Amino acid sequence: MSTAPRSPAGAGQKRAPRRRAAEQDRALAPPAAPDASERDRDVAAALAAWFDRAARDLPWRRTRDPYAIWLSEVMLQQTRVETVIPYYERFLARYPTVFALAAAEIDDVLSLWSGLGYYRRARVLHLAAREVAARHDGALPRDVAALRALPGVGAYTAGAIASIAYEQPVPLVDGNVARVLSRIEGIDDDIRSAAGTRKLWSTAERLVRAAAGSVQPGRFNQALMELGATVCTPRNPRCEACPVLGSCDARAAGREAELPVISPKRDVPAVAMVAAVVRSGDRVLFVRRADGGLFGGLWEPPMVEAKALADARALLEQAGVEPDAPLREVGRVRHILTHRKLDVTVARAEVAAPWRCRAKLAAPYEKAAWLDPGVLDIGVSKLARKVLSAASAPPAARRRR
């Protein structure tokens, strides 16, 4: 028997069916998942293209002025876009530069902010503007660390200024971005936990750096925020309109309604208060709260914690109300804050002539004055305006409140 080796041709004929079968298996198998960098670049490109088509026309998107962008980000914290726009435009018209804001009196700043809420933002913004004027010659720093050294500027605000104004590839995470990233990445950690926060910021940094090669970082970060605000919403997300639908882990697993994971908030305590609206002609007794604390730096009718007018008399006297003021209950106001619910009994008194304001008042008040509520040019909270409205409403309207 011949022991000669088989010819190459014969060997090729034997192996050909096996090779064809392997090629068919490869053709039928699902494609290999792209590596993270390729996926991230695809997400960045799709988001940027969608943002160019779908982004809302908002006034702070028409500028690259770092100061204007900073102002918008501060105003937008916990406040709806449609509420912010008129405040933003009025504020920039009055204080068009950091120097203009730094030179302003805090009462004037708070007056312009009145009604926007979360007044600590205005006080800290004013303080930071003074620091930028004094230490940075009126120009916001480009460096994230230097930005974060300013009063009130945290990681998110620093990331927004650095990326949008200066096109630096730095991340940002706000509520909208956290929701988008938790769904895209399928993050199971509570987004308020330390582990969840680390994952969100790590993902945001990875994506913005992947975007930097072809997409402006500021445009990418704004696209993330816009997607969360208009498409990837907390309830009933419009997944069919999402430009990164194919890259979303939550959608692939049918978990878009489950994510993000957020631990339930603790119950907000209810606080009973009594407010005294004392009027003499066109003027009303106002008191100013000391800086810091609830409604710091704002003016309001005297308000004290008490369940009823009878319980509040002595406290109101310490807040500047004369003991013989003929106060009578005229209505109630409810006001919800993030950390408490205020249930305010509104009392009113008419006096023949304004009395001399006391020099020393009980905390939290530091100053009193008789002012015309029709021409206020001071900072007044939304709660104070509700109280004034309740005190001036006709009896029928008071009963409906």
Residues designated as active site: 73
Question: What are the φ/ψ torsions at residue 121 (nearest 5 degrees)?
Answer: -55, -45
DSSP E strand boundaries for 34-118:
none
- Report strand pairing: 270-280 vs 341-350: parallel
Cα-Cα-Cα-Cα torsion 230, 234, 237, 241, nearest 10 degrees, comes to 30
Q: Quickly count: other Cβ atoms within 10 Å of residue 391's Cβ.
A: 23
Please tell me whether residue 270 adopts helix, strand or coil conformation.
strand
Least Cα distance to 161 among 183, 175, 176, 146 occurs for 146
Q: DSSP secondary structure string, 139-179? A: ---SSHHHHHTSTT--HHHHHHIIIIIT--------HHHHH
- Measured CA to CA in angstroms, residue 210 lies from 43, 53, 247 at distances of 9, 21, 15
